[in-house]
Amino acid sequence: MADEPLVLGIETSCDETGVGIVRGTTLLADAVASSVDEHARFGGVVPEVASRAHLEAMVPTIDRALKQAGVSARDLDGVAVTAGPGLAGALLVGVSAAKAYAYALGKPLYGVNHLASHICVDQLEHGPLPEPTMALLVSGGHSSLLLSSDITSDVRPLGSTIDDAAGEAFDKIARVLDLGFPGGPVIDRYAREGDPAAIAFPRGLTGPRDPLYDFSFSGLKTAVARWIEAKRAAGEEVPVRDVAASFQEAVVDVLTRKAVRACKDEGVDHLMIGGGVAANSRLRALAQERCEASGIRLRVPRPKLCTDNGAMVAALGAEMVARGRAASSWDLSADSSLPVTDPHVPGHGHDHVHEAGAGNLYS
Amino acid sequence: MLLLALDTATPAVTVALHDGTDVIASSTQVDARRHGELLLPAVDRVLAEAGLRLDAVTGIVVGIGPGPYTGLRVGLMTADTFGLALGVPVHGVCTLDGLAYAADIEKGPFVVATDARRKEVYWATYADSHTRLTDPAVDRPADIAERVAGLPAVGAGALLYPDTFPSAHEPEHVSAAALASLAAGKLAAGEELPAPRPLYLRRPDAQVPRNYKVVTPK
Ligand SMILES: [Zn+2]
């Protein structure tokens, strides 16, 4: 069992209710119910709307994942759940479900880190993670460069955004261009027909004295908005495709440049890219090009595994079981600001499976 | 019959086991900020006290509120998932009904009010401990003062606003023991209990942004 643990993972840190099932590094099921349509008219994720949707969707999504995987809940070796970081109320729904599920089935519970899960998911696509792995995590909530020598115990942040997350910048520019929410996919689509060199937008934090691995997208966002407003003020048509392409190029240029630089500086020959923005086609292409030029092997999961899902949580949970990491306690809480350096939330004192066995006659 | 009852719609995290005749074990802790942490260990403790394991349970009873949403969902999600894992029915009970039952008032009318925060209360009126007269509602105490004038009242929402509820008294919070006894009685009488869906009573706070903020300096 220890080599190929069968684990169910639950993810509710934002607006996707995700339930995934993996056996070791093999993906068996990836069921996701999204409330994104309910948020669209608000131009962003509304926490209370997301929490309500998680409660409604959880049981049907667990059912769907079990059917997809063709396994019985009794055969699980553990239940993993995103303990943080994320929206507090949304996380709590998933943590409550995972605790109840694990307890009722008499299985160990693993509260894991959302960011480490985004990295670990690539095991389902490209096999075991090289050690160390450099990871670029980019989404609506985070933009970070992380170096991990063991995804279950050692994740070191090298840099992160000092203002907006990359995905946030896509959402904001999409709004300025009246393209709706979420902004990532629609900007990607328009950009394909535009000229990325049409407008020279600024590259944040790339000066000689700027921090090497930190990001900033707030200045870029303002520069793009001003450029559009100036066009509109002059009564000219805004070249949406060129703006989208040039803006996107500015974002992915900085992301890939810094990621490749970090790999070289740390002597790491693997780069993993995860998070919702990793679904961006230009980011994938430019990263491929630059990694090839530098002799770095690029690992990017398929887009569906880049966005939030339960399979990534299950993947990290399975790794926790395989490596014999301590399970979480029944009083596990959701931690909206769980540090990236904590890949999981181990229980205190003695092993809780044993505790349940003693208290409730489970063996 | 073995019912596991739980409620997290008030500051109390409360769990009880009921064998169809009596409450055989229970736990109540008051901590409005730690529903998520306290509930599962409380379930574990109550089962251990009774010397039973969770899969002996034949049904789950859960308070469906109204109550502050974040805490309320902890109980509902836990109950739902227990139901799924054990393959047993999950019954909802209005939390205010549980409080009314616990108040043990034979002749009303009286009011049950819990704290809805934001200077409001969740409330309903009852003819007696088993009979609700009005749908649960959420209001500012001053706005319902005329409707509840002269009525005895129970619950933290009543105790919190003595101007509106001068004769407020205990119980302050709901207990799963009362919830379980109420549900056991209704089930034994063949009554249908409501589905375990939350009574939110308010829409989510969310505003549709009118437009993006212009950044060009004037
Ligand atoms: Zn994410």
Beta strands in chain A, from DSSP E residues, in sequence order = 6-11, 16-23, 26-34, 78-84, 109-113, 133-138, 143-150, 154-160, 270-274, 297-299
Q: Are residues A353 and A245 in the same domain?
A: no
Express as a percent the part of chain B with pLDDT over 90.
91
Annotated binding site of A for substrate: 137-141, 171, 184, 188, 280
* Architecture field, domain B96-169: 2-Layer Sandwich (3.30)
CB spacing of B206 vs A46 below 8 angstroms: yes
Residues B121, B139: contact at Cβ < 8 Å?
yes
Average pLDDT over chain A, rounded to an integer: 93
Distance from CA of B191 to the nearest CA of A (A): 25
Q: Which pLDDT tens digit goes with each residue over B19-55? A: 999 999 999 999 999 999 999 999 999 999 999 999 9
Residue B84 touches chain A, beta carbons under 8 Å = yes
Q: Which domain holds residue A274?
A: 131-301
Is the pLDDT confidence value at A351 over 90?
A: no
Rounded mean pLDDT, A183-207: 96
Residues A113, A84: contact at Cβ < 8 Å?
yes
Rounded mean pLDDT, A341-362: 61
Whole-number pLDDT of residue B108:
86
CATH number of residue A90's parent domain: 3.30.420.40
Please state whether beta strands A26-34 and A78-84 pair in parallel, antiparallel, or not at all (unpaired). unpaired
* B contacts of A93 (beta carbons < 8 Å): 73, 77
Which pTM value belongs to this model? 0.94
A173-206 burial, b for 16+ CB within 10 Å, e for fewer? bbbbbebebbbbbbbbebbeebebeebebebbbe
Whole-number pLDDT of residue A361:
35
Whole-number pLDDT of residue B218:
58
Residue B77 touches chain A, beta carbons under 8 Å = yes
Whole-number pLDDT of residue A349:
62
Is the pLDDT confidence value at A357 over 80?
A: no
Q: Which pLDDT tens digit goes with each residue over A12-51? A: 999 999 999 999 999 999 999 988 888 887 888 899 999 9
| Domains held by chain A: number | 2
Residue B2 touches chain A, beta carbons under 8 Å = no
Q: Are residues A83 and A157 in the same domain?
A: no
In a domain, residue A277? The reply is yes
Whole-number pLDDT of residue A362:
33
CB neighbour list of residue A352: distance below 8 Å, 6 or more residues apart = A108, A109, A327, A328, A329, A330
Average pLDDT over chain B, rounded to an integer: 95
Closest by CA to A28, choosing from A69, A66, A65, is: A69
Query: Ligand 1 centroid vs A114 CA: distance in angstroms?
Result: 6
CB-closest option in A95, A104, A359 to B82: A104
Residue A33 touches chain B, beta carbons under 8 Å = no
CATH classification for the domain delimited by B3-94+174-189, as one of 3.20.20.70, 3.30.43.10, 1.10.10.10, 3.30.420.40:
3.30.420.40
Q: Which pLDDT tens digit goes with each residue over A234-281? A: 999 999 999 999 999 999 999 999 999 999 999 999 999 999 999 999
| 3-class DSSP assignment, residue B12 | strand
Q: Are residues A139 and A223 in the same domain?
A: yes
Whole-number pLDDT of residue A325:
97
Residues B159, B123: contact at Cβ < 8 Å?
no
Rounded mean pLDDT, A325-349: 95
Kindly indicate the confidence band of residue B205, based on its pLDDT and cuts at 50, 70 and 90.
confident
